[in-house]
């Protein structure tokens, strides 16, 4: 019980930091370093407590320098094609140059949305 509450608090803090990073960056584009600091703190907490971050959050953070990736502000977004069928969305961080490629697949199902993941989550408390 106690550990569950602690995790909840940590998640709230992660959420707060993530929103704060968005907030300072939208107020002023020069707040990039502050936003990076928030995201860095967010990642540190998540790593220390081994919390799984939502993919939607993970995709907007730079793996290398922890920048918040916002298309046109801190990152460039390009469509790349491997062959006629496979296309990628490539996000490139403007502060460190690290890029991440996401496969464009409309049928892709995230692990958390799969029934197996739900079963795994249900098993854990018992
Ligand atoms: Zn970066």
Ligand 1 centroid to Cα of residue 37, in Å, is 12
Ligand 1 centroid to Cα of residue 23, in Å, is 19
Task: Give the integer Cα–Cα distance in Å for 22 and 100.
Answer: 20
N-to-C CA span, the chain: 12
Task: Give the integer Cα–Cα distance in Å for 84 and 82.
Answer: 7
Identify residues whose C-beta is under 5 A from ligand 1, the ion: 62, 64-65, 67, 93, 96, 98
Give the single-character DSSP code of 71: B
Beta strand 75-81 pairing with 87-93: antiparallel
pLDDT at residue 126 greater than cutoff 90: no
Ligand 1 centroid to Cα of residue 38, in Å, is 14
Give the global pTM: 0.80
Ligand 1 centroid to Cα of residue 36, in Å, is 9
Residue 67 near residue 95 (C-beta atoms within 8 A) = yes
Task: Give the integer Cα–Cα distance in Å for 35 and 95.
Answer: 12
Tens of pLDDT along 36-94?
A: 999 999 999 999 999 988 888 999 999 999 999 999 999 999 999 988 888 999 999 99
Ligand 1 centroid to Cα of residue 117, in Å, is 30
Point out which residues pair with 87 in neighbouring strands. 81
Give the single-character DSSP code of 101: E
| Token representation of residue 125 | 């408390």
Ligand 1 centroid to Cα of residue 109, in Å, is 27
Residue 50 near residue 40 (C-beta atoms within 8 A) = no
């Amino acid at each position: 019980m106690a550990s569950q509450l602690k995790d909840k608090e940590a998640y709230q803090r992660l959420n707060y930091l993530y929103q704060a990073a968005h907030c300072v960056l939208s107020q002023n584009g020069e707040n990039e370093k502050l936003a990076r600091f928030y995201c860095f703190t967010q990642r540190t907490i998540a790593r220390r407590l081994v919390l799984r971050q939502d993919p939607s959050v993970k995709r907007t953070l730079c793996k290398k320098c922890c920048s918040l990736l916002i298309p046109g502000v801190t990152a460039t977004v390009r469509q790349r094609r491997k062959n006629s069928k496979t296309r990628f969305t490539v996000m490139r961080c403007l502060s460190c140059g690290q890029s991440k490629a996401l496969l464009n697949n409309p049928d892709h199902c995230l692990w958390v949305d799969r029934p197996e993941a739900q079963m795994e989550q249900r098993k854990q408390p018992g």
